[in-house]
Chains A and B, each alone.
Chain A
């Protein structure tokens, strides 16, 4: 049949294009992996591409033997988990009422949110606020200022809006409170977007480090990405660093940097495949809708 051939052609092309894209995205990761497993000479000479040369695990043993690195990993996990949970709770708490068209003051509240997408006080007043709240050099300085991302909030509201109102209304007629409706109807129906936004929050926190540069002084509160940033950034040559002369040349081996990159990236990379199963719940949503 003509349709079937067309479909098969479509599937084949689709598969091939995606395969190519996948390989393109995998390559740099393999490159970093290869560097982390190679020895100094071939790396310095720029010979390592996708396959390690002079295979060795020295860099990894250094990373794993460094107690500061391990502590940092656990701290980052803790930080990310607390942050993500708090963010989601607040984002849902705000998203649900704001998805109700009949809520009085809704427009004003939305406006309050949207303004903050563009206007901010700048780095110095923000620092002073954190200081006055007594949050400097504590984990909360990395959590509280970023609790609700307006962009994610808007996405959540848009998804809530797509849930048929009839479902909520029938629940309300049954005498269910708004809290109950939110927990027993809205959240289960929105699991795909909630997991997605959780992932966004978690990845944002995991990868973010600019706030730690400002708010954190104790090495025990250094998240992984800050350590990573320092490892990588410190070899950057700027006009000012040249003023240091040669006195300060402490070179971090490329393989150690690469191993640290892998060490700091893999944990968060595996979160998504693990979350993917929640995406299946969309089937249920479809059924309810129909």
Chain B
């Protein structure tokens, strides 16, 4: 197909792209010159252009910090555990909701299950403390009243990991079902009817029809999740974490907050951001490649 013919046929598609691409250029690529800060001794008042180049000095400083490696390890650890626990949770929940026969309860529970997503982390932090505290938390009150030993859910680092994961599932699983529920509406109902006639059991049906129907969505979410293995939200570890378990709860985002925002060392913060970006991009391209080979699904 020659360029001329191609363009006559497809110009509308490019026309559609004009506004979105300008958006990306202006608002996303416009400020990207800020990456330079990583290579400069950034002075707030001189601005980025006026600050002096320092080459890779800041990288050397960051890679020489003990806290960097600890927070990097914790970030990867928490994200990996989340991938094992919090990633499948909404999928399972969505299938359960889909299989639910009682229509009124289906609607009601869908709406209630996603409420935790709307409660800010500061408030969740307070509630977590009331529920999981060792001295007078609700669960431990119950345990001690029946003569059992209190469990330090928040102050022992291994117990804390469990608490962290459970709170994460609780907070995000219901919200995460929404996208799967949307995907489930796309599955052909006739397939289910056919399966019913075949007398296939429920679990079998889920395995052979529901899950394959959700496969594209699962893979897209998985690839994006993998791309974010090295970045982590600030609030959840910050709010649920505490000084007693800091060796697990201190992560890259809290580290960056400390040195970047609170101590005003933008250069160091930018270095870490750049490091995360490069690793994240490699992860996402890698998992995209693998997924394309194995399942023929990909995002790029």
Contacts and interface: CB of A to CB of B under 8 A. Distances in A.
Please say whether the chains A and B touch (CB closer than 8 A): yes
Contacts of A10: 99, 202-203
Interface of B: 6, 10, 12-14, 16-17, 19-21, 23-24, 26-35, 37, 48, 93, 96-97, 99-102, 105, 107-120, 122-124, 127, 130, 138, 170, 173-174, 178-179, 181-190, 199, 201-203, 216-217, 220, 224, 227, 266, 269-270, 273-274, 276-278, 280-281, 284, 297, 299-300
Contacts of B174: 21, 25
A116 B105 contact: no
Q: What secondary structure prevails in chain A residues at the interface with B?
A: helix
Interface residues of A, number: 97
A21 B113 contact: yes
Nearest to B206: A10
Contact of A177 (B12, B199, B300): B12
Contacts of B220: 154-155, 158
A126 B31 CA distance: 5
A96 B13 contact: yes
A199 interface: yes
A282 B110 contact: no
B269 to A, nearest CB: 8
Interface in A257-276: 261, 265, 268-269, 272-273, 276
Contacts of B24: 112-113, 116, 148
Contacts of A125: 30-34, 48
A286 interface: yes
A18 B31 contact: no
A196 B12 contact: no
Interface in A1-54: 3, 6-7, 10-11, 14-15, 17-19, 21-22, 24-26, 28-29, 31-32, 46, 49
B31 A100 contact: no
A182 B220 CA distance: 23
B300 A97 contact: no
A129 B32 CA distance: 10
A17 B95 CA distance: 13
